[in-house]
Structure 1
Amino acid sequence: MNSLTYVNLDQIPTRELIALLNSQRVRKHLVSHDLFDETSISAWVADKCREDSKIKCIVRAIKVDHEFAGWCAIQPLDDQYEIALVLGEHYWGIGITVFKDMVAWGIELGHETLIFNLMSSRPKYKFLNEIATNISECEIMNHAFTQYEIKLRNIKI
């Protein structure tokens, strides 16, 4: 990996977004959703752009060496804010780097705490266990998740 950059989600061609979000390997770790097409992906991007315009929120596409690798966000979830991170399978190794950037964004945006929900299909990560102040199991949209509560004030990553 030579360069990691973040751009607005609407700068990514729809065919690349569709390929990522319809990938069976990626979908295994996401809540169930219909396969995207040109119409539904446009609506999804518009929704994410609205999220990006909200106070304390950010939504970005991730590029590695100028290639689309995934997307990430700090977005509202009920009365909290969560970290969302979706990477194409060829980029799964950069997750910790992106996560650290997102924690820095969270601090800049004035968050004290962020939630990171990982579907139960994902392995447990020692890294998250070490920085989380609370770890619990929860259900979101009829899927089991491990929820990591991360207080940003004294985080060392």
Structure 2
Amino acid sequence: MHNIETIDKLLKDELAATETYKQALDKLREDAALGESEYLMPIYEAHKDAVSSLQAQIRQLGKTPSEGSGAWGTWVEILQGGANMLGKKVALKVLQEGEKNGAEDYEKALKDTELSSNIRSLIETKLLPAQQAHIRTLDRLLDAAA
């Protein structure tokens, strides 16, 4: 049962990430700042892919995956809304913070001794490396925006 709670928390993180990136991409399109959106779009797609992978894991365990991002997603929406008004650099910083939090959650999940080998493998080979790559991309975008 412990596996389900861990995987579900990771799923909610990924759902929050997809919501946040969608908002950021919509905002960048409005501002015609398409340079960033070409870098952010693959990250958005990677988070959508992570959602699918985690949902599949939960279904394999015979449970129903969460549909929404919960309280974290609501907080992220409010924060991203504020960031959108404050400008591109703040919006990128919010995205970067979210990625760092997500990476920490994956690292914490890997410390869970009850985590099944298939979800552990998914995190180690796909989800955590993707998260770390997202952080590096956002670091570059933030450096360029400075």
Q: Same fold (TM over 0.5)?
A: no
**TM-score with structure 2 setting the length:** 0.32
**TM-score with structure 1 setting the length:** 0.31
User: Which structure shows the higher helix fraction?
Assistant: 2
Relative contact order higher in (CA < 8 Å, ≥ 6 apart): 2
User: Which structure shows the higher strand fraction?
Assistant: 1
